[in-house]
Amino acid sequence: MTTRAAEAPATSPTRRLSPGARRGLAAVAGALAALAFQPYNLWPLVVLGIGLLTVLVCGRRLREAFGTGYLFGVAFLALTVGWTYVIAVPVAILLVGVWALWFAGVGLLTTLVMKLPWWPVWVAAEWVLVEYLYSRVPWGGFGWTRLAFTQADSPLAGLFPYVATTGVSFVVALLGAGLAWAWFSARSTGGRARLRAVAIVVAAYVLAIGGAVVAKAMTSVPVPADTVTVGMVQGNVDGVGLEAFGRARSVTNNHMSQTVTLMAQARAGQLPKPDFVLWPENSTDIDPVLDTETRQVVSTAVAIAGVPILVGAVTEGPGPYERQTTALWWDPQTGPGALYHKRNLVPFGEWIPLRRQLLPLVPMLQLVGAQSVPGDGPGVLSVDVPHHGTTRIGVLICFELAYDQTVREMISGDAATGGGAQIVTVQSNNATYAGTGQISQQWAITRIRAMETQREILVATTNALSGYIAPDGTVRYETRQRTPASTSVVMPVRNGLTPAMRYGAGIELALVGLAVAALAASVWRRRPGPRRGGQVRQNGTAASN
């Protein structure tokens, strides 16, 4: 492929379309990309969506490209995260309206870097740059809809342990941009050149998919140093949506009752006897350390189990009318001990940005309750597991699954934890979103994290898709929504880091740097060049320089 062939058309290939048609196609492109996510799982469509958006913004003025990207984002987000309406319809509208600005940025950056040779590479890098930014700002970011999260069931899934989610997003965007390039080439070149363009794109697809398949076949899971049997409890929640927040004591009682069921089955030999038990996030919404009644319920459950329970609790503080979402290790002999506070909080779900301004406008947000405060440090609890000694248990709490840095730091650990997670658990409370696409989206992200880390993952939720996932992303056990359930599984204790965990941050920074460099080169090329012949024109006449 020559440099000339890798250049985009000088004028927009959609210039003959009416503005209304272009807007409609922008929404179609966003819908196509959205249908690649759960619960639809039509993962090839994300490539078509990216390709169509790339065609639509090619050669457009910057304002038009921005608007096209925004319409793409509105349609995309309405289908992917429209489930936020269960909190409040105004919240969903605000989220879609604000986050669509990032996709407007994709449209703008795409049309800029398409002026450069080999532009499909730079377009893909710009997608990574935008994902990098919207996973961090504003309000701590909302990286729930990254391109990589469409690929849990695609052949590209084999790349996750090697290039991490960032690398997979880049590959997906590159395939979409390559599709647009092939379309441009087929329109503007002769018969042989068209065949060559198609052949190049087909070869790129075969290389990407074939390489991912080979990578998956070559992936080796670290040899376990030990095994730990872990019980999982899904106690169920009375009520749906925001109603679930109002029945805290019944939720804790439900989890104690299901723990009794679990241990009865284990003692009858129907399940392996657990070395510890995993409860989900918000299994107690009342601080079990400070509240006497809640403490008694949890202590009773731990005494019945006869082994520690990793409780998902809401704890008070650190300031007045503040709270923290906490993973709390509760030992039958010593009581509450090691803990981890959730770091990545859900805007409008756990804390309210612009709280003072928004509460008068959306009174329903009062149901969110006290303002949550993020913790710090990796999600690793170094605890004494009966019959196994000190074991490092990794904890990801719900929304944290979407954050690469949080996952990497949990797997890597630090000096305070004595190392990274040897087994990985997820505590989640999806009760608010039961029956929506959020449930299956989070499940897909969890499967991807298992592939990335090459660790088994045990998930406990209050009432929505708990289960056990293998390092290759296959589901070994899965509950039904809105039902109580429990089981116990034998989890390997693993050490070691995949390339994705070891080098993922470097891959991300390299691709972000590539995007910034391409953007700078594009802006430089757009600046006015020197006048020919040493002449400048002033007041309509030629003057010597």
Average pLDDT over residues 383-407: 97
The per-residue pLDDT for 421 is 97
Alpha-carbon distance 137 to 529, whole Å? 36
- How does DSSP classify residue 273? P
Find the helix or strand (DSSP H, E) in which 179 lies.
helix 160-188
Nearest Cα residue to 301 out of 292, 291, 311:
311
Does residue 295 lie in a domain region?
yes
Bridge partner residues of 322 (DSSP): 371
The per-residue pLDDT for 8 is 74
CA trace torsion 504, 505, 509, 511 (10° rounding) = 10
Does residue 351 lie in a domain region?
no
- Residue 37 and residue 145 in contact, taking contact as beta carbons nearer than 8 Å: yes
Both 206 and 232 in a single domain?
no
Concatenated DSSP letters for 124-145? HHHHHHHHHHHTTTTTT--GGG
The per-residue pLDDT for 241 is 47
Average pLDDT over residues 202-229: 85
The per-residue pLDDT for 189 is 63
Alpha-carbon distance 283 to 258, whole Å? 12
3-60 pLDDT, tens digit per residue, is 454 667 767 777 788 989 999 999 999 999 999 999 999 999 999 999 999 999 998 9
The domain spanning residue 429 has which CATH number? Answer: 3.60.110.10
Residue range(s) defining the domain that contains residue 55: 19-220+503-526
The per-residue pLDDT for 190 is 61
Both 484 and 516 in a single domain?
no
pLDDT at 139 over 80: yes
Average pLDDT over residues 106-118: 95
pLDDT at 380 over 90: yes
297-327 pLDDT, tens digit per residue, is 999 999 999 999 999 999 999 999 999 999 9
* Buried residues in 66-95 as b, exposed as e (16+ CB within 10 A): bbbbbbbbbbbbbbbbbbbbbbbeebbebb
What is the arrangement of strands in the sheet containing 380-385, beginning at the earlier edge strand?
380-385, 389-397, 423-428, 457-461, 467-469, 475-478
Both 216 and 251 in a single domain?
no
Does residue 1 lie in a domain region?
no
pLDDT at 532 over 70: no
Both 198 and 323 in a single domain?
no
447-465 pLDDT, tens digit per residue, is 999 999 999 999 999 998 9
Does residue 4 lie in a domain region?
no
Both 165 and 180 in a single domain?
yes
Both 236 and 212 in a single domain?
no
The per-residue pLDDT for 6 is 62
The pLDDT confidence band at residue 186, using thresholds 50, 70 and 90, is: confident
Both 213 and 282 in a single domain?
no
- Residue 2 and residue 192 in contact, taking contact as beta carbons nearer than 8 Å: no
Concatenated DSSP letters for 296-347? HHHHHHHHHH-S-EEEEEEEE-SSTTEEEEEEEEEETTTEEEEEEE--SPPB
Both 448 and 511 in a single domain?
no
Both 156 and 301 in a single domain?
no
Question: What mean pLDDT, rounded, does the chain reach?
Answer: 90
Both 122 and 167 in a single domain?
yes
Does residue 179 lie in a domain region?
yes
Query: What are the structure tokens assigned to 368, written together?
Result: 């969110």
The pLDDT confidence band at residue 379, using thresholds 50, 70 and 90, is: very high
58-84 pLDDT, tens digit per residue, is 989 999 999 999 999 999 999 999 998
- Based on its alpha-carbon atoms, the radius of gyration of the chain, rounded to whole angstroms, reads 26
- How does DSSP classify residue 379? S
Average pLDDT over residues 165-190: 89
Both 281 and 182 in a single domain?
no
Does residue 541 lie in a domain region?
no
Residue indicated by tokens 């105004």? 90
Does residue 545 lie in a domain region?
no
- Residue 94 and residue 81 in contact, taking contact as beta carbons nearer than 8 Å: no
Average pLDDT over residues 495-501: 95
pTM of the model: 0.92
The per-residue pLDDT for 432 is 84
The per-residue pLDDT for 529 is 60
**Number of domains comprising the chain:** 2
Both 162 and 257 in a single domain?
no
3-state secondary structure 45-74: HHHHHHHHHHHHHCCCCHHHHHHHHHHHHH
- Residue 277 and residue 307 in contact, taking contact as beta carbons nearer than 8 Å: yes
155-177 pLDDT, tens digit per residue, is 999 999 999 999 999 999 999 99
* Buried residues in 33-63 as b, exposed as e (16+ CB within 10 A): bbbbbbebeebebbbbbbbbbbbbbbbbeee
Phi, psi of 443 (to 5 degrees): -65, -40
Does residue 540 lie in a domain region?
no
Alpha-carbon distance 178 to 44, whole Å? 14
The pLDDT confidence band at residue 222, using thresholds 50, 70 and 90, is: confident
The per-residue pLDDT for 274 is 98
Task: Name residue 181's amino acid.
Answer: W
SS3 content of the chain, % helix, strand, coil (to 5): 50, 15, 30
